[in-house]
Structure 1
Amino acid sequence: MKMKFLYLIGIMLIGGLLVSCDKDSDEEKTKNFKELLVGHWVESHSQGYYHDFSNPEYNEEWDEDISEGETFWFKEDGTFEETFEGVSKGNWILNGNQLSLTVTWADDPENIGGSNSPVILELSESKLVLESHDKNDDYEEYNKSTFIKVTP
């Protein structure tokens, strides 16, 4: 009888450990991603391709380290500033590993300038890897950009 009781206690302890070691929920993961994403990011590497179906002379492929690339400043309030051949501002929303960026213009915030939804392939306290792919009847473009965090 004592052995059955000890087995029962052992099974209950193991069951309790398995439940307590459950992985983070999707909501907790998104919250952690948001906390990690906030800060100033500078592009350090880019790889991808652009294929123009009508004008193949414009086709190109690249895989290069970058010293002065695109920068993002993701703010806690859901806004961002992007620097790449000028400055853009807008709003960001994170849904799982999908990052939705919507550009707004400072002089006319109601005028939405465009949107982009890259996928986050990797995100840590110091590294962000974004992937985007766009294809239509005229062209196909793929870009994978690696960013390093400059400031939190």
Structure 2
Amino acid sequence: MAASSDQKMPMFDPKSMTFAQYIDDVFEIKSWGFDWDANKKLKQLALILPTGWCTKVFRDIHNDNKKSYDLLKAALIKEIDRTDEKRQTAASDFHKITQKPGESIDDYGHRIYRKCEEAYPNFAKGNRSELCAHRFVEESEKVINRKSTGDQADNVDGITA
């Protein structure tokens, strides 16, 4: 019996299970029931993830001409199931971020915001903006303190000469 072409796979929900669990417990079982071959499963992997997730993984596999279901599945599991670890690292980096020598205030602010988005993707935009403002002020205070004690400003564009 041929499987209907309109059969759809449920979207992956990271709140309910890991991606590896989803693949084993949902995707593999349903795709077997739908009688999908490896090519059909390969195409469907892109449809079960929220837009924008793992774009780099898809692009790398496409660019390497290594399009196979097993390769993409393994790469996605590796990438997605490390999300919490990556967020923890990003959160740690966010709280340590400093302005690089020669970096403009604008570029520094954008870098702070991008790191905040990595670390706290579920926060509302206003909350992330507030976190970024606090981080910027913290670093500015350090620079002002260094300048007031006679040390060089070390940036935030010199905190006014």
Q: For the superposition of Structure 1 and Structure 2, which TM-score range results when normalised by the shorter chain?
A: under 0.3
Considering fraction of residues, name the structure with more helix.
Answer: 2
Task: Give the TM-score, by structure 1 length.
Answer: 0.23
